[in-house]
Structure 1
Amino acid sequence: MYLIVGLGNPGSEYEKTRHNAGFLAVDEIAESIGARYWKIEGGALTAKGSHRGCDIVLAKPQSYMNTSGGPVKQVMAAYKATPDQLIVIHDELDIPAGTVKVKRGGGHAGHNGLRSICDKLQTRDWLRVRCGIGRPPGRMPVSDFVLSEPRRDAADEFAEAVHQAARAALSLIDEGLEKTQREFNGK
């Protein structure tokens, strides 16, 4: 069993923003594995499905990005999941827009959703799918950038990164970390 968590913010005003890359990727995974019934569980929207014989629980914390750790911990407890069974999909400023990278462990790089998960789980050792959104242009504040919808060409890059993030999460289950890194990290 794997728990795939997409980070984002609940509410229609955030639905297509860069910060919701994780929610959008999880929605794409749900579509591909036929997980259609969503319910509130442990402070997150959850849905279940299977992929190539592996049970998958999808989760979208509903407590807003900065406090995602509480719902992640609660859903992990409900399903008796360990950090080895956790895959977190999130936006990443330090990766070029439109690209995806995967890794196990690491810091939070100032990402408050990751910081919250690190704090609540008391570990940094889980699988991560990092959906590149790039840096804000000029002097635009980071918060304004991540909470805005990409426009024009950037929208296509963002959609492709979300799609690749969904593929990478399933590849981690199918192929493991090393093969997935070879496929996605070099692009």
Structure 2
Amino acid sequence: MKFLITGLGNIGPEYHETRHNIGFMVVDALAKDAGVYFSDNRYGAIAELKLKGRTLILLKPSTFMNLSGNAIRYWLQKENIELENMLVVVDDIALPFGTLRLKPKGSDAGHNGLKNIQELLGTQNYNRLRFGIGNDFSRGGQIDYVLGHFTKEQQKEMPIRLERAGEIIKSFCLAGIQNTMNLYNNK
């Protein structure tokens, strides 16, 4: 059984470890924990890990955030992965920093990466893991905020949050979305 786990983010050193790139950070941490490495491929960097008889294909799109759907559609088709076995890891300003919420569907909530995925897949019904980045910005400051870096205090908490995100992803692949939501969404 195969799963496509996509972390959303933007390529380039100027975006490294910014709030908008939390999806990249989550899949990077998962790969590091499993001892696997990313290699450049079509539409993104790919790493593959095995987990109790399942294959997890980790994807960091190289298409920039607003065109993430191109990479996801390509890898779903190339690897013949069912939509219900796809999970998108995305930053969310509506959640306090470090809050993790697994959802089986939903709107794009103004997130351009999710908007593009929805357009190219033709559905809102795909799994996503929302990683809260908070919304501590003044009116008109959203772009600078999401493209900014985490505070020192948040950076100290980051290893624990990334580990928890990895646990959720593994549970999603092993136990399914409903069981994983029941286990983790209220913590």
- TM (norm. structure 2) is 0.93
Q: Which runs of 5+ in 2 are unaligned?
A: none
Aligned counterparts of 1:90 and 1:136: Cα–Cα separation in 2: 18
Residue 155 of structure 1: how far off its partner (Å): 2.3
Aligned counterparts of 2:45 and 2:91: Cα–Cα separation in 1: 19
Residues 34 and 49 in structure 2, CA contact (< 8 A), matched pair in contact too: yes
Residue 67 of structure 1: how far off its partner (Å): 0.9
Residues 38 and 45 in structure 2, CA contact (< 8 A), matched pair in contact too: no
Paired residue for 1:72? 72
What is the letter of the counterpart of residue 119 of structure 1?
E
SS in structure 2 of the partner of residue 135 of structure 1:
coil
In the TM superposition, 1:82-121 aligns within 5 A as: 82-121=82-121
What is the letter of the counterpart of residue 28 of structure 2?
D
Residue 159 of structure 1: how far off its partner (Å): 4.4
Residue 82 of structure 1: how far off its partner (Å): 2.0
Residue 157 of structure 1: how far off its partner (Å): 4.0
Q: Is 2:36 the counterpart of 1:35?
A: yes
Cα distance, 1:79–1:136 mapped onto 2, change above 3 Å: same
Paired residue for 2:128? 128
Residues 7 and 90 in structure 2, CA contact (< 8 A), matched pair in contact too: yes
Larger CA deviation: 152-161 vs 111-120: 152-161
Residues 69 and 120 in structure 2, CA contact (< 8 A), matched pair in contact too: yes
Aligned counterparts of 1:3 and 1:69: Cα–Cα separation in 2: 13
Aligned counterparts of 1:114 and 1:173: Cα–Cα separation in 2: 21
Q: Is 2:166 the counterpart of 1:148?
A: no
Aligned counterparts of 2:38 and 2:159: Cα–Cα separation in 1: 24
SS in structure 1 of the partner of residue 103 of structure 2:
strand
SS in structure 2 of the partner of residue 68 of structure 1:
helix
Cα distance, 1:102–1:44 mapped onto 2, change above 3 Å: same
- TM (norm. structure 1) is 0.93
Give aligned-pair identity as a percent.
Answer: 32
Q: Which runs of 5+ in 1 are unaligned?
A: none
Residues 89 and 165 in structure 1, CA contact (< 8 A), matched pair in contact too: no
Residues 39 and 47 in structure 1, CA contact (< 8 A), matched pair in contact too: no
Aligned counterparts of 2:168 and 2:140: Cα–Cα separation in 1: 30
